[in-house]
């Protein structure tokens, strides 16, 4: 219960407080009671006051402890004189001195500021303009990059070198560590680099690769040298270059001389898949989506997972066989799990898919087989993977397929002595 006498004393102090201090918020009651002649000992105990100060009074029989107020003193009451502003100077005003940054030392090697991959130039030339997430080129033909340095380049004194690193342990003996001195002209049929244009701090460099180069992701490092002193750029992901097979290059094993086939088997993202049986054939559209965001990264992950050596990754035959194996979950925990039982309660029915994109993205995220697929689904996913790598591919559905298990080149049926058929591993479906 509240002490009525204490409440009345607090109200009197508050009114006196407001009159004496111009209604200052949260004003200390200690100053109010001093002005009215009261002491803290005369105040009734056992009542909590909002004094604006930090008050600690755990028990009514203990004396009240009042600490110093936290607010600054009040400003003086009355008119405030404006600050004295000095008069403006008479006569012309001198501008402040211009501070120019110190010039870059020319006796130190160049430092790379930016690596520019000329997408608008390289994309159409390499039929890779549909790739949006990676710096993609096709082997066997040149591409251009721009180098921006911290000072003007003097090609007579500054030496430039571009280094390509493949894999986690690049070695020159395995052609996974390539050091390309930037010269005056490209060398046909091998890795080389040449200055295309030099203007101030910018240098445009043309780079070419052989037609049998290793396919995959390369890290790029730029090295400069001046008077025996070297400077190397950091290895960062934005400077990666992805090299693919090139069916437009005559020296590449994947070469096709028909532009119509190249358009269909490499660049086309949409098609159809046939399914069913010989007596009832179904057809549905299929989105191969080899250029969709995220798909190239998943395909490169499959290439890493394949276990192929660096030199084998330059062979379209080896890569095709490895990808065919990895699309099936039965080998190396691959992309798709097959199911012909009719029970698809633990996943998506094979007829529920209309493209490869969702399947590959799901596998890339979860890193476990996607449920479920059948023959045409496996075919569609493999077609996407191969087209993404630059290997011409198309999906074909065959009906009345003969499965010969004993290499007799015939489908054998067996019967017992009563004329009843006996189970055989050969079949047609």
Which of 21, 42, 61 corresponds to the end of one domain?
Answer: 61
Both 233 and 286 in one domain: the answer is: no
Structure confidence by residue, pLDDT tens digits, 313-348: 999 999 999 999 999 988 778 999 999 899 999 999
Burial group, residue 57, by CB count within 10 angstroms (0-12, 13-18, 19+)? middle
Output the pLDDT for position 72. Answer: 58
**Residue 17 belongs to some domain of the structure:** yes
Q: How many CB atoms lie within 10 A of CB 83?
A: 5
Q: Do the Cβ atoms of 332 and 196 come closer than 8 Å?
A: no
Which residues touch 198 (CB under 8 Å, ≥6 apart)? 153, 155, 204
Which sign, positive or negative, has the C-alpha torsion 33, 34, 38, 41? positive
Output the pLDDT for position 375. Answer: 87
**Residue 145 belongs to some domain of the structure:** yes
Both 135 and 185 in one domain: the answer is: yes
Both 224 and 266 in one domain: the answer is: no
- What's the token pair of residue 361? 């993205």
Both 271 and 237 in one domain: the answer is: no
Which sign, positive or negative, has the C-alpha torsion 116, 119, 120, 126? positive
Both 381 and 319 in one domain: the answer is: yes
Both 228 and 283 in one domain: the answer is: no
CA dihedral 397, 398, 400, 403 (to 10 degrees): -110
Structure confidence by residue, pLDDT tens digits, 223-242: 999 988 999 998 887 789 99
Both 29 and 139 in one domain: the answer is: no
Concatenating the DSSP letter of every residue in 225-294 gives EETTEEEE----GGG-EEEE--TTSTTSTT--S-HHHHIIIII--EEEEEEEETTEEEEEEEE--TTSTT
pTM: 0.72
Output the pLDDT for position 409. Answer: 80
Output the pLDDT for position 17. Answer: 57
Which sign, positive or negative, has the C-alpha torsion 289, 294, 299, 300? positive
- What's the token pair of residue 209? 């690769």
CATH code of the domain covering residue 119: 2.60.40.10
Output the pLDDT for position 64. Answer: 47
- Tallying the residues shown for the chain, one arrives at 429
Output the pLDDT for position 88. Answer: 73
Which of 198, 216, 244 corresponds to the end of one domain?
Answer: 244
User: How far is the C-alpha of 2 from the C-alpha of 12, rounded, in Å?
Assistant: 16
Both 210 and 155 in one domain: the answer is: yes
CATH code of the domain covering residue 307: 3.90.260.10
**Residue 14 belongs to some domain of the structure:** yes
> Tokens 């330059």 identify what position?
314
User: How far is the C-alpha of 182 from the C-alpha of 176, rounded, in Å?
Assistant: 18
Tell me how many domains the chain contains: 3
**Residue 56 belongs to some domain of the structure:** yes
Burial group, residue 93, by CB count within 10 angstroms (0-12, 13-18, 19+)? exposed
Instruction: Tell me if residue 360 falls in helix, strand or coil.
Output: helix
Both 314 and 350 in one domain: the answer is: yes
User: How far is the C-alpha of 203 from the C-alpha of 147, rounded, in Å?
Assistant: 5
Both 119 and 189 in one domain: the answer is: yes
Both 227 and 117 in one domain: the answer is: yes
Output the pLDDT for position 62. Answer: 44
Q: Give the range of the structural domain holding residue 318, as residue numbers without chain letter.
A: 259-398
Q: How many CB atoms lie within 10 A of CB 131?
A: 22
**Residue 403 belongs to some domain of the structure:** no
Q: How many CB atoms lie within 10 A of CB 5?
A: 10
**Residue 213 belongs to some domain of the structure:** yes
DSSP bridge partners of 338: 373
Which of 198, 217, 244 corresponds to the end of one domain?
Answer: 244
Output the pLDDT for position 212. Answer: 96
Taking 70 as the pLDDT cut, the residues of the chain under it are 1-78, 80, 89-91, 93-94, 98-104, 429
Output the pLDDT for position 344. Answer: 93
User: How far is the C-alpha of 55 from the C-alpha of 57, rounded, in Å?
Assistant: 6
Which sign, positive or negative, has the C-alpha torsion 187, 189, 192, 198? positive
Both 145 and 274 in one domain: the answer is: no
User: How far is the C-alpha of 22 from the C-alpha of 307, rounded, in Å?
Assistant: 85
**Residue 229 belongs to some domain of the structure:** yes
Give the CA distances from residue 365 to residues 30, 335, 355, in Å, rounded to whole numbers and listed in that order.
69, 11, 17
**Residue 148 belongs to some domain of the structure:** yes
């Amino acid at each position: 219960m509240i002490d009525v006498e204490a409440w009345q004393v607090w109200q009197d102090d508050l009114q006196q407080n407001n009159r004496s201090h111009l209604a200052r918020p949260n004003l200390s009651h200690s100053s109010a009671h001093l002005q009215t002649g009261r002491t803290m000992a005369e105040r009734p105990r056992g009542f909590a006051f909002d004094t604006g100060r930090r008050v600690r009074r755990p028990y009514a029989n203990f004396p009240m402890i009042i600490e110093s107020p936290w607010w600054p003193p009040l400003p003086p009451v009355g008119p405030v004189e404006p600050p004295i502003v000095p008069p403006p100077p008479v006569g012309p005003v001198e501008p402040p001195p211009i501070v120019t940054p110190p010039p870059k030392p020319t006796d130190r090697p160049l430092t790379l500021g930016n690596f520019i991959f000329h997408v608008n130039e390289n994309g159409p030339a390499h039929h890779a303009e549909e790739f949006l997430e990676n710096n993609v080129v096709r082997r066997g033909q040149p591409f251009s990059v721009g180098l921006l340095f911290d000072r003007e380049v003097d090609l007579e004194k500054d030496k430039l070198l571009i280094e390509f690193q493949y894999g986690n342990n690049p070695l020159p003996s395995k052609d996974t560590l390539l050091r390309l001195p930037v010269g005056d002209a490209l060398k046909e049929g091998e890795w080389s680099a040449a200055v295309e244009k030099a203007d101030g701090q910018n240098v445009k460099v043309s780079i070419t690769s052989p037609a049998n180069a290793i396919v995959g992701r390369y890290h790029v490092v730029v090295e400069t040298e001046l008077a025996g002193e070297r400077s190397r750029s950091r290895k960062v992901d934005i400077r990666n270059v992805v090299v693919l097979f090139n069916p437009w290059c005559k020296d590449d094993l994947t070469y096709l001389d028909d532009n119509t086939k190249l358009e269909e088997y490499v660049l086309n993202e949409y098609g159809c898949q046939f399914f069913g049986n010989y007596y009832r054939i179904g057809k549905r559209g299929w989105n191969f989506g080899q250029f969709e965001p995220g798909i190239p990264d998943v395909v490169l992950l499959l290439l890493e997972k394949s276990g192929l050596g660096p030199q084998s990754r330059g062979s379209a035959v080896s890569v095709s066989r490895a990808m065919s194996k990895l699309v099936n979950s039965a080998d190396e925990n691959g992309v798709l799990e097959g199911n012909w039982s009719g029970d698809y309660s633990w996943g998506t029915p094979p007829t529920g898919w209309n493209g490869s994109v969702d399947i590959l993205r799901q596998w890339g995220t979860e890193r476990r087989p996607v449920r479920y697929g059948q023959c045409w689904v496996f075919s569609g996913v493999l077609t996407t993977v191969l087209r993404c790598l630059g290997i011409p591919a198309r999906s074909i559905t065959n009906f009345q397929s003969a499965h010969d298990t004993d290499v007799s080149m015939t489908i054998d049926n067996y019967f017992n002595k009563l004329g009843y058929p006996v189970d055989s591993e050969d079949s047609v479906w």
